[in-house]
Amino acid sequence: MRHWWIYIILYSVVGLFGLSPFTGTDIAKLSPIEVIWLEEEKGWISIVTDGDNQGYGATVSEAIANMKSTAPGTVFLDTADFLIVKKGDESLITQITELLRQSCSVCTAETRPNMQAAAKFLRAHEPSVKLKHLDDNPSKLPLLELQRGRLILIENTSDEYAACGVADRCVKCAHSEPCGQD
């Protein structure tokens, strides 16, 4: 312990020359994700995020690796709250389950929605199915549809669905138009 001052000098030199083993991340390069779109077309897996990041590959892992390599910043899949899978491609969910948080909500859609609009809608009308509760029955996944210019989430477990209008009015009933039963 007589030479403690040597450690202080070494630490100062390391800090002075930037040789610290701790590296920082430029906050401007971070790309958090809220919504992920996943589909398979002609043997190729496509993944798209609400941050306009895209990736393609033969498997989900390859598509994610492609997306991360072409993204302008660092992509964080751990921040995803919603996974939208193209109807009919539900088998892809098993390939991405381990890469996302288990509290991520899952739904299907016939076509890819506007990702920013989907993020806003799904925040207000969260799908009832989470990755952690997902069993091997994809028919129970809610369906996200665009009807008359509005996103509608159809829960397959009942006849109720949520519709969000332009004025951000929300309805939970079996009607396709706002009926005052908010």
On the CB side of 73, how many CA atoms lie within 13 Å of its CA?
A: 14
| DSSP reduced 3-state for 150 | strand
Q: What is the pLDDT of residue 23?
A: 61
Q: What is the pLDDT of residues 112-129, one digit of tens each?
A: 999 999 999 999 999 989
Please check the confidence at residue 69 and state whether its pLDDT lies above 90.
yes
* Pairwise pLDDT comparison (47 vs 149), residue with the higher score: 47
DSSP bridge partners of 106: 83
4's tokens = 């403690």
Element holding 119 (H helix, E strand) = helix 115-124
Radius of gyration of the chain measured on its C-alpha atoms: 22
Contacting residues for 66 by C-beta, under 8 A, at least 6 apart? 55, 56, 57
Compute the distance between CA of residue 130 and CA of residue 128 in angstroms, rounded to an integer: 7
Amino acid identity, position 113? P
Please check the confidence at residue 154 and state whether its pLDDT lies above 50.
yes
* Pairwise pLDDT comparison (38 vs 134), residue with the higher score: 38
Q: What is the pLDDT of residues 72-113, one digit of tens each?
A: 888 888 889 999 999 999 999 999 988 899 999 999 999 999
Element holding 95 (H helix, E strand) = helix 93-96
The domain limits of the chain are 29-173
Residues in the chain: 182
